[in-house]
Amino acid sequence: MPPAAPIPLEIETTPSLAERAYVRLRDAIVEGSLAAGSKLSERRLAAALGISAQPVREALRRLEGEGLVETRPKSGTFVSALDSDRLAEMGRIRAALEGAAASLAARRVGPADLRVLEQRLGAIRAATDQGDRAALAGANDAFHTALHRITGNAFLIRSLQALRAYFHVGSRRVLAGEAEIRLALEEHLAILDAIAAGEAEQAERLMRAHALRSLAVAFPEADRCLPAPRPASPDEKDSHES
């Protein structure tokens, strides 16, 4: 009996039509080419992209899951309105979740996981050195996605996925300046070192600080979205005075 043919281990890296449609539409929304409130026609988008409607439909479903588009009953699909206050609120939640993800990753990481993270970080470094902002945004996304997968926590991953609208908009703002992209690289290196060493608390602290600093750069007005302190009730005042 002839030996079985070896199973190819190479991963298919050619993006599908749905993936390419997703990237094109995502970038158009984030960059403002597709303005907030714009109605999205699958047929027209498919014609503009030179593909069939099915991959466009898949791309729109993915964008809806990320909060970049919304479907209104009996009306259609529209580009979501994402003002700075809403994005800043999402950024604060994301900082806490990213910190939790880094902590979990430090507890669960294995040799194969570390190799993937090192490869993703290598791509960030290469894009930084080349000054390629588009490649850097993609490499940054890939690093965080790989880290999320290491957690093995499906709920956490879904929660972070729902905040990707902030991630896409915020990362482009943060990566606009040379000094910022160099600092972001150093922060990612420190985060990876903590994860590799299994230092969960340190990994969480560094990731949270990185995310909050990025938020402050992307949305300087972020503090305005913090709720005002609730006035103490008369009973609470009495209890503090006694």
User: Kind and range of the H or E element at 176?
Assistant: none
* Residue 176 within any structural domain of the chain: yes
CB distance 203 to 219 below 8 Å: no
* Mean pLDDT confidence for 122-143: 92
* Residue 6 within any structural domain of the chain: no
Tens digit of pLDDT for each residue in 57-110? 999 999 998 888 999 998 999 998 877 788 888 889 999 999 999 999 999 999
Asked if residue 208 and residue 130 are part of one domain, the reply reads yes
Asked if residue 69 and residue 175 are part of one domain, the reply reads no
Q: Is residue 9 predicted with pLDDT exceeding 70? A: no
User: Kind and range of the H or E element at 19?
Assistant: helix 17-30
- CA dist 62 and 27 (Å) reads 13
- β-pairing verdict for 69-72 and 39-40: unpaired
CATH number at residue 175: 1.20.120.530
Residue where a domain stops, chosen among 60, 79, 98: 79
Where in the sequence is the domain holding 62, given as residue range(s)?
17-79
Asked if residue 68 and residue 95 are part of one domain, the reply reads no
Q: How confident is the model at residue 173 (pLDDT cuts 50, 70, 90)?
A: confident
Q: How confident is the model at residue 129 (pLDDT cuts 50, 70, 90)?
A: very high
Q: Is residue 159 predicted with pLDDT exceeding 70? A: yes
Which residues, at least 6 apart from 101, have a Cβ–Cβ distance to it below 8 Å? 147, 148, 151, 153, 156, 160, 207
CATH number at residue 69: 1.10.10.10
Residue where a domain stops, chosen among 30, 46, 79: 79
* Residue 88 within any structural domain of the chain: yes
Tens digit of pLDDT for each residue in 189-227? 999 999 999 999 999 999 999 999 988 888 886 555 444
The pTM for the full model equals: 0.71
Q: So what's the pLDDT on residue 7?
A: 36
**Cα angle value 180/214/68 (rounded, 5°):** 115
Q: How confident is the model at residue 1 (pLDDT cuts 50, 70, 90)?
A: very low
Asked if residue 163 and residue 95 are part of one domain, the reply reads yes
Asked if residue 59 and residue 120 are part of one domain, the reply reads no
What total of structural domains would you count in the chain? Answer: 2
CB distance 186 to 97 below 8 Å: no
